[in-house]
Amino acid sequence: MKHIVVIGGGIAGMETACALTDAGHWVTVIEKEEQVGGKLNKWSYLFPDFTPADKILDALLEKHSEKDFSILSQTEVLSVNRQNNKFNIETSGKQKLEADAVVVATGYELFDASRKEEYGYKIYDHVITSADLEKLLLPDGDLSVAAGQNPKRIAFVHCVGSRDEKSGNHYCSKVCCITGVKQAIELKKRLPEAEIYCFYMDLRMYGKNFEELYREAQEKYDIQFIRGRLSEASEKIDKSLLIKSEDTLSGRPLKMNVDLLVLLVGMEAGKGTAKAAAACSIGCEESGFLRTSDPFLMSNFSEQEGIFLAGSCTAPMSVNDTILHARSAAQEVNNWLKKNN
C-alpha cells in the first residue's frame, strides 16, 4: 500500500484524499487549523445559485468521514525531503512521515484589505470585506450601521487586492466579480429599500450562469454598476462614507455618500502556500501561486516529480473548480504511482 501525504485540509485536500483512499491508497492529511474544510468554513452562501456553503461542506465532509484516512490537524509541515523515491516529511507536531507521493493543497488566503489604506478598512466603522459580509448574510446577521439603522446606500468595490500593482497583485482573482453580484443580490433581498452600487473595472462573468445572475441583478434587483475604481473613502461626521471614483464612462469624477462599503477582497497564495513551496522545493509564479508543469495537460504536476498540486494553491479558483482540480490531482497521483511501481 502506498502512502500519500496531502498538505492542506481544505476542500481540495480533503477531496484529493478521498479519491486517493478510494483508489486503495493510505492517505494522511496535514491541516494547520483545528477544523478541516478550509476557507469554505468562512462562506455562508455560494454563487451562482445561493447554495448554503454548509450544505456543500457537510456533503463533502460526510463523504470524507466514510473514508479511512488520517487527518493531522493543527499541524504544519516543516520539511519534505526526498530519499530513495520516498519523501520524508517532518511536521510541527514532531511526527516523521514517509510518503510515496505528496499533494500540496494549501489553498489561498484572503487579501488583507487594510493594505489598501485609502479604503480605510479597520479604520472606518462601516467598511467591511466580502468575507465579513458573508457572515452578516446569515439569517441572524446584523446589517445595521450607525444608530442601529439599516444602511440606505451600499457600495461594493471590485478588485480589492487584485489587478492592482499597488497591492503587488497583478492577477485577477476571478471569483470576486460574481461574489459581488451574489452578495449585492442577497443584500437587496434583505434590505429592499437600499440602493446598491458596484464599482467595477471589468465584470468578468466567466462561469456558467454568472452572466445571467449579473443580468438578474440589474433587472430584478436594481443593482447599479458604475465603471470606475474607487480612489479613496473617507468617514463623515455621521459615520457614513464619502467615496470617490471616476465614472469612467462619463469621464468625470464621481463622489457618493454610502452607509456601508464592502470591499471584494481577492485571493493571495498566502503564507501557507509559500511555506509548503519552500518545504517541498517547488516553484512559485510571480503571483505567489504554485507553478504547474504546464497549464493544459499537467496542471496538477509541480516541478518536482512525485509532488502534486491541487486546488487554489495553483491559481484563484471557485469551489466547483477546486473540487474538480482536486479529483484530477488524485487521478494523476494514482496514475503516477502505478507507472512507478
Partner 1 sequence: MKDFGFSVIKQRTIDYDQFDGRLLNEVLEMEPSFKVCLSCGGCTATCSAADLVSFNVRRMNLLLRRGETVELETEIQKCMLCGKCMLVCPRGINLRNVIMLIKKSIHKYKPVNL
Partner 2 sequence: MKREGKIQVWQDYQKDIADDHYFYVRSCIRQNFFPGSEQTFLKILRRELNKDIYENPHHTSCSGIGYHSDIVPFDTIQTIVARQFALMTEAGYQNLAVSCITSFGIYNEIIETWKEFPSELEKVRSLLKKATGREFEIPQNVAHASDIIYKFRDKIASIGENRLVNQKTGKPLKIVEHIGCHYSKMFPSKGVGGAEFPHVLVGMIESWGGEVVDYPERRHCCGFGFRQYLVMSNRGYSVSNSRKKFESMEPYKPDAILCNCPGCPMFLDRWQYVIQEMEGKTYGENGQGIPVLTYEEMAGLVLGYDPWNMGMQMHQTNVEPLLDKMGIHYDTDLKYAGKDGKLIGKPKMVSCGC
How does 37-65 read in b/e, with b if 16+ C-beta sit within 10 Å? bbbbeebbbbbbeeeebbebbeebbeebe
For residue 253, the minimal CB distance to partner 1 (Å) is: 4
Site membership for partner 1, residue 227 (CB under 8 A): yes
Q: Which of 90, 195, 211, 235 binds partner 2 (CB under 8 A)?
A: 235
**What is the contact mask toward partner 1 in residues 249 to 278, using x (rule: CB under 8 A)?**
xx-xxxxxx---------------------
Measured in whole angstroms, how far is the alpha carbon of residue 165 from the centre of its chain?
Answer: 20
20 vs 157 by CB, closer to partner 1: 157
Shortest spacing between CB 177 and partner 1, in angstroms: 14
Interface with partner 2 (CB under 8 A), residue total: 16
Instruction: Enumerate residues 114-133 that contact partner 2 by CB under 8 A.
Output: 114, 117-118, 120-125
Q: Cα–Cα distance between 292 and 300 in angstroms, integer? A: 6
Angle between helices 53-65 and 11-22 (to 10 degrees): 30
Residue 256 contact among partner 2, partner 1, none, beta carbon within 5 to 8 Å by kind: partner 1
Closest separation in Å from C-beta 250 to partner 1: 5
CA-CA distance, 40 to 45, in Å (whole number)? 10
CB atoms near residue 22 (< 10 Å): 13
Q: Applying CB under 8 A, does 236 fall inside the site for partner 1?
A: no
Q: How far apart are CA 30 and CA 74, in angstroms?
A: 8
Considering all CA atoms of the chain, what is the largest pairwise distance in Å, rounded to the nearest integer? 70
In the bound state with partner 1, the residue whose beta carbon lies nearer, of 227 and 327, is 227
Choose the binding region for partner 2 from 17-25, 231-239, 276-284, 319-327 (rule: CB under 8 A).
231-239
- CA geometry: angle 233, 239, 240, nearest 5 deg: 55
* Least distance (Å) between residue 128 CB and partner 2: 12
Does residue 247 interact with partner 1 by CB under 8 A? yes
